[in-house]
Structure 1
Amino acid sequence: MGATIAETPSEKSIADSKEENQPGEVIATEFNKDDPESALQPPKKYPETDLSRGIVGWDGQDDPHNPQNFAASRKWGLLALTSAITFVSPLASSMFSPSVSYVAVDLGVTNETLLSFSISIYILGYAFGPLALAPLSEVYGRRIILSCGNWWFVVWQIGCALAPNLTSLIIFRFFAGIGGSACLTLGAGVIADLFPIEQRGLATAIWSSGPMIGPVVGPIAGGFIGETIGWRWVFWVLLMISAVVSAGIEVLNRETYASVLIRWKTERLAKELGRPDLRSAYAPDGEDVSVMTELRFGLTRPVLLFCKSPIVFLLSTYMALAYGLLYLFFTTIPTVFRGQYGFSTGLSGLAFVGIGVGLFLGMGLVASTNDRLVVKLTQQNGGKFQPEMRLPMMMFFACFLPISFFWYGWAAEKHVHWIVPIIGTVPFSFGMMGIYLPIQTYVIDCYPGYAASANATLTASRSLVGALLPLAGPQMFQTLGLGWGNSLLGFVAVAFIPVPIVFSRYGQAIREKFPVELR
C-alpha cells in the first residue's frame, strides 16, 4: 500500500484524558517530507500501563496482546472466521425462496402474501437482532456474543426443518434471523479492532462479500435441493453447514475488542497485586462504570446514531433503498423465469447468476481501489485523513443502479431470450457493491470504538426495508407489469444518483456540525 495512515484510538486514555482523541474523532497525520509514501505515527497511539497512577493499558505500543499488533496472518485468519459465518447466515435468507411453492402444497397454504412473508421474515430478524447484539459486544466482547448468536442461529434451523405449519415456520425463521444477524453486525467491530485505516477497505470487502453473495448462491442451491429431496432439507443442509462453521469459530476465534481485553487485564492485575484502585485506560473519564450502566449506554447507541447523526441517517436510508431494490429483484426473478421462460425450480435459481457476477466485479473493483484512493486523498490533504474520503467512488457506482431495471424489466416484458434479462441484472449488483462497501467502511472509520453499534444502525434499517418492501412487489408488478413496474424502480434509482455527490461534498460538514456523544 505504501503509506500508513495513523488512526484514532478507539477510546481515550485516562492518563492523557486531555490530550487523547475521543472515540470516532479523526486525528491528523503528517507525512515525512523526504518520503511522501510514509507517514509518521503519533507518539502514543494506544494507552499504556502506568501503575504509579493506577492506570492499566497496553505494555507499550508494540504489545503483542494488542489486536492491532497481531501478525497479519492472525488478523486475516480471524477475519476469515467471521466472514465464513457471514456467508452462511445470508445464504439462509434466500436459500428457502425457490422451495416456497412446495411449502404451499405440503402445508396447504394458498395465501401468497403469507408465503412471501415466510421468506422475508428472516430479514426482519436482521432488523431487530443488531440493535441488541452490537451494544452487547461492546460490553462483553465480540467473541462471546458472536458465539451465542451463531449457535442461536444453528438451533432454529432444526425448528424450521420440523415446522408443522406455516405459522411456526415464520416464527422459527424470525428467531433464526436474529441469531444470524450477529455476524453481520460484529464483523464491522472486528475490522475496527484489527485493521488500520489503510487496510479497512479490503477487509470490509472480504467480510461484506457474504451478505451480498450469500443471497445469490442461496436460490441456486435451494432450488435444486427443494426440487430433488424436499423443502425441509434446505434447513437440514443449513443446519449442517452452520454447525460446522460455528464449531470452527468456537475453537479458533479470539477476543479482539481492546476495551474488554484491558478490562480483563485490569481485573487480573488488581487481584494479583492487591490494587483495587487500578482502572482501565479505556474507562470513560478515568472512572469504572458498572456493567448495567455500560449496558444502558450501549443499547441506546444505535438509536442515538440513527436519530442524532444526520449523515448516518441519510447513509442508512440510501443503503436501505438499494437493499430493498435488491430484494425486489429476488421476489420477481423465480416467478419470471419459471412462468415466462419455462425454467424448472432448480434452474430458476441459476437466473441469479447475473447478480452474482455483478457483485463479484463490484467487490473486486472496490477492494482494489478504495484503500488506495484514501491514501492518495490523505496525501493531497496534507496528511489529514477524513472518513468522507471513502465516499467519492459512490458517485461512479450509483449511475449503474437504474440501468438494470429498464434493461431487465422490458426484456422480460417482451419475452426476449432468457440470457438478456439475466445479463441485465449485472449493472445493478455491480453498482450496489460500490455503494454498500464504501458506506460500511465509512461508519467504521467514523466510529472505530463503536463500529459494531454504528453498523447495527445500517443493518437494522436496510433489513427492515429489505423485509417489508418486497411484500409490495407482487401487487405492483401485477398492476403495472414487468416493464413499467421495473421502470418505476429505475426512475427512483435515477433520482438518487446525485445523493453520493451530496455525501462527498457536505458529509464532513454535516458530521462535524452534529456530533454524537456515545459515552
Structure 2
Amino acid sequence: MASIDIERPASQRTLTPSYTGSAAKKDEESATKEDVVQAEDPNAVGWDGPDDPNNPMNWPAKKKWSCIGALSVMTLLTPLGSSMFAPGVPDIMREFETSNRNIATFVVSVYVLGFAFGPLLAAPLSEIYGRAIVFNVANVLFLIMTVATALSQNMPMLIVFRFLMGFTGSTPITNGSGTISDIFPVQERGKAMAVWAMGPLLGPCIGPLAGGYMVEAIGWRWVFWLIAILTGFIATLCYFATPETYAPTLLRAKAAKLKKETGNQDLYSILDKDGLTPKQRLSNASIRPMRMLFTHLPVFILSLYVAIVYGVLYLMFSTFTFVFAQQYGFGTGTIGLAYLPTGIGMLFGTIVFGVMTDIVIKKKIEQNGKTVPEDRLPIWMTLPSGLLIVVALFWYGWAADQNSHWIVPMIGVALFCFGLMGIMMCLQTYLVDAYITYAASAVAAMTVLRSLAGALLPLAGLSMYDDLGLGWGNSILAFLALVLVPVPVIFFLYGPKIRAKSPNNLG
C-alpha cells in the first residue's frame, strides 16, 4: 500500500508520532503539512507505521474479502423484501379487502421509501461510532421488523412495518461503500464495489422470481418468514465476519486503551485533531448527508441522475404485471420470470464495469503515479452506457405497446439494466473516491434521492401510462434520459474545478 504514490485522505494515512524511517518518509509525500505537525505531537496516537497490521488497509486479502462477502450477502437479502412478495399483492388486496390500485403499488414501493430515510441515520452514526456496531444493531432491528410484517393483520400495519423493514434494511446498502473505502486502496475499489453492488440491484430482480412460486404454493406471509430465517443466519455471520473498519473509530479505541495503560489523559487520536466533542461530531454527522446533497454540486447532480434512472427502473417494474400477466398471459408463478432479464443485465453490467474501472485506475497509476476521482468517469464507458439506457427505453416501450413476442420487451429490459449498471458503478465509485472519509454520507445522500424516486415515481407514472400508453410513455422517459447523458462527460472534463467550488464544511 505505502509503495503506491496516490493521494489519500487523513483516515488512511499511516502517520504516527513514534515512527521514523524511509517508509514514513514516503507517506509524507501524500501528507499535508498540518498532518506532519500533528504527527510530531507526542500525545497524538496514529498507526504504528505504514505496515501496521491493525490498519484495515493492511489486512490480508482473505480477511478483506470475507468482510465484503458477508456484507454483500446482507445487501442481497434486505432488498429481497422490496419486491419478493410483489406477485402476492393481489392475494394481499383480497385478504385485506382493498381494491385501490395506488395502495397496491404503494405497499410495494413503501419499502423503498424506508431506504430513503434510513441512510440519514445509519451513515452519520457509522461515522461517529463505527461501522460494525451500526451494522449489527440494524440487522437485529431488520429481523424484528420482518417478523412483525409477517404477522400483519391489516393493510396499515403491513405498510408501517414494510417501511420500517426498508428503514433498518438500508444500513448495509448505505454503509457498505464506507467499509470498502476503509479497507481497499483506490485501484482495487472497483471490484469490491461491483461485488457489494450486486445485492441491492439483484435483490429486487431475483425476489419476484422466487416469490411468485412461493406465494402460489404457501402464501405471501411465508415470504417474510423466509427472509426472517435467512436474516437470523446471515446477521450472525456478519457479526463474526465484519470487524470494525473505520480508521477514526479504531484510533479512538487505541488512544483510549493507551490512556488506561499509561495514565496519560492527554492522548488523542491523530484523526480527532478538530477538537470536537462526541456530541458535536454527532450533530455535524447527522446533517452531513443532506448538507452534501444540497451544497456539493457533484453529489447533487450525480445523485439526481442516478435517482431518475433508478426511478425509471421501478416504474418499469410497475408495468410488468400489466404487460406480462394481462398482455402475455403469465401466471402468478411465472410472472416472476419477467424480472429475470433485469437480473441478467445487472449481473453482466456489474461484472464488466466493476472490472473495467479498476483496470482504468491501475493504468492511470502506472502512467502518472497517481489517480484522481474523475478517472472513474471515462467517456468511453459512461457515454455508451447512458445512450444504451435511452435506446432500451424506446425498445421496451414500443415492443410492449405493439404486442411483440414477449422476449422482445425482455431484451429491452436487460439492455436497460446493463446500461444502468454502467452509470451507477461509475458515478457511485466516483463519489466514494472523491469523499473517502465521508464516503458513507456521500452514498447516503445518493441513496436518499434514489430511493425517493424509486418509491414515488411509480405512483405518478401509472397515470402517465394510462394517458399515453407504453410506447409514448416510455419515449418521454427516454428523452429525459437523453438529456442526462452528457452529465458524466461534464464531470470527467471539469470535475476538479466543480469540486473545488464545493464548501469545505464536512467535519
Query: Aligning the two structures, in what range does the TM-score lie when normalised by the shorter sequence?
Result: over 0.9
Q: Does 1:450 align with 2:438?
A: yes
The aligned runs of 1:343-492 (5 Å cut-off) are 343-380=330-367, 382-392=368-378, 393-492=381-480
Per-residue deviation, 1:122: 0.5
Identify if the C-alpha distance between structure 1 residues 5 and 99 changes in structure 2 by more than 3 Å, giving closer, same or farther. Answer: farther
Per-residue deviation, 1:321: 0.6
| Aligned residue in 1 for 2:263 | 274
| Aligned residue in 2 for 1:32 | none
Whichever residue aligns with residue 305 of structure 2, its letter is: Y
Structure 2 distance, partners of 1:180, 1:501, is 33
The aligned runs of 1:229-308 (5 Å cut-off) are 229-285=218-274, 287=275, 289-308=276-295
| Aligned residue in 1 for 2:112 | 123
Q: Does 1:63 align with 2:52?
A: yes
| Aligned residue in 2 for 1:110 | 99
Q: Which runs of 5+ in 1 are unaligned?
A: 18-39
The 8 Å contact of residues 397 and 470 in structure 2, kept in 1 or not, is answered as yes
| Aligned residue in 1 for 2:129 | 140
The 8 Å contact of residues 16 and 48 in structure 2, kept in 1 or not, is answered as no
The 8 Å contact of residues 304 and 516 in structure 1, kept in 2 or not, is answered as no
Q: Residue 276 of structure 1 aligns to a residue in which SS?
A: coil
Structure 1 distance, partners of 2:505, 2:266, is 27
Range that drifts further, 387-396 or 458-467: 387-396
Q: Does 1:42 align with 2:27?
A: yes
Whichever residue aligns with residue 296 of structure 1, its letter is: S
**Which structure: greater helix fraction?**
2
Identify if the C-alpha distance between structure 1 residues 14 and 246 changes in structure 2 by more than 3 Å, giving closer, same or farther. Answer: closer
Structure 2 distance, partners of 1:315, 1:355, is 22
Per-residue deviation, 1:297: 1.0
Q: Does 1:324 align with 2:311?
A: yes
Structure 1 distance, partners of 2:395, 2:297, is 34
Identify if the C-alpha distance between structure 1 residues 306 and 502 changes in structure 2 by more than 3 Å, giving closer, same or farther. Answer: same
Q: Residue 468 of structure 1 aligns to a residue in which SS?
A: helix
Identify if the C-alpha distance between structure 1 residues 176 and 308 changes in structure 2 by more than 3 Å, giving closer, same or farther. Answer: same
Q: Does 1:191 align with 2:186?
A: no
Q: Does 1:8 align with 2:30?
A: no
Per-residue deviation, 1:121: 0.6
Structure 1 distance, partners of 2:328, 2:445, is 40
Q: Can you list the C-alpha shifts for 1:400-451, whole angstroms capped at 9, x where unaligned?
A: 1012221111111121111111112111000000011111111111111111
The 8 Å contact of residues 259 and 282 in structure 1, kept in 2 or not, is answered as yes
Q: Does 1:89 align with 2:74?
A: no
Structure 2 distance, partners of 1:142, 1:52, is 28
Q: Residue 214 of structure 1 aligns to a residue in which SS?
A: helix
Q: Can you list the C-alpha shifts for 1:94-126, whole angstroms capped at 9, x where unaligned?
A: 112111111011110111111211111111111
Q: Residue 178 of structure 2 aligns to a residue in which SS?
A: helix
Identity over the aligned pairs, expressed in percent? 43
The 8 Å contact of residues 68 and 196 in structure 1, kept in 2 or not, is answered as yes
Identify if the C-alpha distance between structure 1 residues 242 and 265 changes in structure 2 by more than 3 Å, giving closer, same or farther. Answer: same
Whichever residue aligns with residue 27 of structure 2, its letter is: P
* Count of matched residue positions in the alignment of Structure 1 and Structure 2: 493
Whichever residue aligns with residue 328 of structure 2, its letter is: Y
Per-residue deviation, 1:396: 2.1
Identify if the C-alpha distance between structure 1 residues 10 and 86 changes in structure 2 by more than 3 Å, giving closer, same or farther. Answer: farther
The 8 Å contact of residues 12 and 281 in structure 1, kept in 2 or not, is answered as no
Per-residue deviation, 1:284: 2.7
Structure 2 distance, partners of 1:15, 1:352, is 50
| Aligned residue in 2 for 1:26 | none
What's the TM-score, normalizing by structure 1?
Answer: 0.91
The 8 Å contact of residues 383 and 489 in structure 2, kept in 1 or not, is answered as yes
Query: Cα RMSD between the aligned structures?
Result: 2.2
Structure 2 distance, partners of 1:249, 1:482, is 43
The 8 Å contact of residues 14 and 46 in structure 2, kept in 1 or not, is answered as no
Per-residue deviation, 1:16: 9.1
Whichever residue aligns with residue 230 of structure 1, its letter is: G
Q: Can you list the C-alpha shifts for 1:197-241, whole angstroms capped at 9, x where unaligned?
A: 000111111101111111100110111111111111111111111
The 8 Å contact of residues 5 and 198 in structure 1, kept in 2 or not, is answered as no
Whichever residue aligns with residue 8 of structure 1, its letter is: R
The 8 Å contact of residues 15 and 50 in structure 2, kept in 1 or not, is answered as no
Per-residue deviation, 1:281: 0.7
Q: Residue 27 of structure 2 aligns to a residue in which SS?
A: coil
Per-residue deviation, 1:383: 2.7
Per-residue deviation, 1:159: 1.1
Per-residue deviation, 1:9: 2.9
Structure 1 distance, partners of 2:500, 2:39, is 33
| Aligned residue in 1 for 2:64 | 75
| Aligned residue in 2 for 1:169 | 158
Per-residue deviation, 1:334: 2.2
Q: Does 1:210 align with 2:199?
A: yes
Structure 1 distance, partners of 2:134, 2:420, is 29
Q: Residue 517 of structure 1 aligns to a residue in which SS?
A: coil
Per-residue deviation, 1:489: 1.2
Per-residue deviation, 1:50: 6.8
Structure 2 distance, partners of 1:282, 1:140, is 14
Given candidates 86, 89, 97, the residue that maps to 1:100 is 89
Q: Which runs of 5+ in 2 are unaligned?
A: 18-24
Structure 1 distance, partners of 2:492, 2:435, is 18
Identify if the C-alpha distance between structure 1 residues 228 and 81 changes in structure 2 by more than 3 Å, giving closer, same or farther. Answer: same
The 8 Å contact of residues 407 and 424 in structure 1, kept in 2 or not, is answered as yes
Per-residue deviation, 1:5: 5.2
Q: Does 1:221 align with 2:210?
A: yes
Per-residue deviation, 1:486: 1.4
Structure 1 distance, partners of 2:184, 2:472, is 45
Identify if the C-alpha distance between structure 1 residues 99 and 55 changes in structure 2 by more than 3 Å, giving closer, same or farther. Answer: same
Per-residue deviation, 1:325: 0.7
| Aligned residue in 1 for 2:321 | 334
The 8 Å contact of residues 7 and 196 in structure 1, kept in 2 or not, is answered as no
Structure 2 distance, partners of 1:338, 1:13, is 56
Whichever residue aligns with residue 6 of structure 1, its letter is: I
The 8 Å contact of residues 359 and 429 in structure 1, kept in 2 or not, is answered as yes
